[in-house]
């Protein structure tokens, strides 16, 4: 059945009238769904050193991502959202991933825009490549390689990828191995999404929307153990694969925009959730940083005192926006952070008040009680030791698996 669908889909794309460019409308009978995404933010200091502030010049950047669902045709959405000048992409390729930055060369294809192998992305814009016939299965990894010949200036990024990005001097976009890629980073650059097209409606996608706990801080690098990854694996194992999109940013806040911790949840919700094609459900897990940065830790970012009422008001606005877009909205309780630098009596009182509202107000379509699932039974103000990555704030791999297991698939549209 998938082979037949793939042939039908690609026949639609191969017709002259069905060529998809960054500005054209896809064929009406083809349905695009985002199967991998990340939240872009400004080029600025990161939790670890990366290449965002300096950018690239006559260099090739190779990035590996794992899609959460599959399909018969694929395109990549690139972003220059925080750039101040046009981004010149001298060439780009995509291929199935092999180990350690290598690719399967027989699957290598050029990424084009309007059939052109080089293209520009305007400042503040996203751009989708032309579709390519690269059928993907759920949980398969692809490698996207960009050759950036001209100086880019500071790069739109996602700082904490927990996946290795590779850099080489010169043009190595078609290299089958990673021998030339002598530098590495733990961030993504200029990537926004991978989308697949099909001729039948797929299961709707789920957006996991949040902060560093959604982003995967504390999980094992290059292992895809973030909680959205674990949820995608769980759904695939049950025979109901669907896209699960990670729209978390480390340090992100619900109410406060930041130059390096990302636009606030209320600012970025439309772009990161509502504008994603094929989404049916959003899981909102955010508020820890609003509470923790209400006092102290000025070295991390601007301290702004945020009340439970301010958080609740913004949650209600996000719920309203999601419902207006036809989405189902799941509310996740805020995890305990006792013994972390965020913890004090005032912060804990705020966390408990917000969680009580999430559980009892009846405003979400369903509740994911992560607080109850991951709390230490002997001290509910902190994470259970078995789930603690060691900083008393972020879960470890076992904690992220438990988070995914706490979500009821029946609550997902």
Confidence band, pLDDT 50/70/90 cuts, at residue 20:
very low
- Check: CB of residue 110 under 8 Å from CB of residue 40: no
Report if residue 222 sits inside a domain.
Answer: yes
Selection from 392, 390, 311, 317 nearest residue 352 by Cα = 311
**Same domain for 367 and 266:** yes
The alpha-helical segments, DSSP class H, found in 251-396 are 265-269, 288-292, 308-324, 345-360, 370-374
Report if residue 9 sits inside a domain.
Answer: yes
Q: Around Cβ 301, how many Cβ atoms within 10 Å?
A: 16
Report if residue 135 sits inside a domain.
Answer: yes
pLDDT, residue 18, reads 34
Confidence band, pLDDT 50/70/90 cuts, at residue 15:
very low
**Same domain for 245 and 180:** no
- pLDDT tens by residue, 164-219: 999 999 999 999 999 999 999 999 999 999 999 987 777 899 999 999 999 999 99
**Same domain for 264 and 134:** no
Residues 6+ apart with CB under 8 A from 405: 230, 234, 373
For the chain, what is the domain count? 2
**Same domain for 234 and 162:** no
pLDDT, residue 62, reads 99
Structural domain containing residue 9: 2-16+32-193
Report if residue 22 sits inside a domain.
Answer: no
Query: Quick one: DSSP state of residue 360?
Result: H
**Same domain for 74 and 116:** yes
Cα(335)–Cα(7) distance, rounded to whole angstroms? 46
> Domain end: 193, 224, 245, which one?
193
Q: What is the pTM of this model?
A: 0.93
> Domain end: 143, 167, 193, which one?
193
**Same domain for 213 and 125:** no
Q: Report the chain's mean pLDDT, rounded to a whole number.
A: 93
Across residues 91-104, what is the average pLDDT? Answer: 98
pLDDT, residue 141, reads 98
| 203 or 22: which leads in pLDDT | 203
Across residues 388-413, what is the average pLDDT? Answer: 97
CATH at residue 210: 3.40.50.1110
Report if residue 198 sits inside a domain.
Answer: no
pLDDT, residue 16, reads 39
pLDDT, residue 121, reads 98
């Amino acid at each position: 059945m998938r082979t037949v669908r793939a042939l039908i889909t690609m026949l639609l794309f191969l017709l002259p009238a069905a060529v998809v460019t960054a500005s054209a409308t896809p064929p009406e009978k083809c349905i695009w769904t985002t199967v991998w995404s990340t939240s872009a933010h400004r080029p600025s200091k990161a939790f670890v050193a990366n290449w965002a502030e300096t950018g690239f010049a006559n260099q090739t950047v190779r990035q590996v991502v794992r899609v959460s669902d599959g399909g018969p045709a694929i395109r990549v959405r690139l972003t220059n959202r925080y750039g101040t000048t046009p981004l010149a992409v001298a060439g780009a390729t995509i291929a199935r991933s092999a180990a350690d930055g290598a690719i399967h060369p027989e699957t290598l294809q050029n990424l084009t825009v309007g059939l052109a192998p080089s293209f520009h992305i305007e400042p503040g814009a996203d751009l989708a490549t032309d579709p390519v016939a690269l059928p993907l299965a759920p949980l398969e990894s692809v490698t996207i390689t960009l050759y950036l010949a001209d100086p880019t200036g500071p790069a739109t990024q996602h700082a904490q990828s927990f996946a290795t990005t590779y850099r080489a001097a010169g043009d190595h976009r078609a290299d089958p191995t990673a021998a030339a890629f002598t530098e590495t980073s733990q961030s993504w650059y200029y990537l926004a999404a991978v989308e697949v097209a099909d001729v039948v409606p797929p299961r709707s996608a789920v957006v996991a929307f949040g902060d560093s706990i959604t982003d995967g801080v504390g999980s094992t690098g290059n292992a895809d153990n973030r909680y959205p990854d674990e949820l995608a694996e769980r759904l695939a194992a049950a025979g109901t694969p669907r896209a699960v999109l990670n729209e978390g940013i480390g340090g992100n806040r619900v109410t406060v925009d930041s130059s390096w911790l990302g636009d606030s949840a209320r600012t970025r919700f439309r772009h990161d959730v509502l504008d994603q094609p094929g989404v049916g459900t959003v899981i909102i897990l955010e508020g820890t940083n609003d509470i923790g940065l209400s006092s102290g830790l000025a070295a991390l970012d601007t301290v702004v005192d945020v009340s439970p009422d301010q958080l609740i008001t913004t949650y209600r606005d996000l719920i309203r926006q999601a419902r207006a877009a036809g989405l189902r909205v799941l509310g996740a309780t805020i995890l305990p952070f006792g013994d972390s630098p965020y913890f004090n009596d005032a912060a804990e009182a705020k966390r408990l008040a917000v969680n009580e509202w999430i559980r009892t107000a009846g405003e979400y379509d369903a509740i994911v009680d992560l607080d109850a699932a991951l709390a230490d039974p002997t001290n509910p103000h902190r994470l259970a030791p078995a789930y603690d990555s060691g900083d008393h704030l972020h879960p470890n791999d076992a904690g992220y698996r438990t988070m995914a297991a706490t979500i009821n698939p029946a609550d997902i549209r």
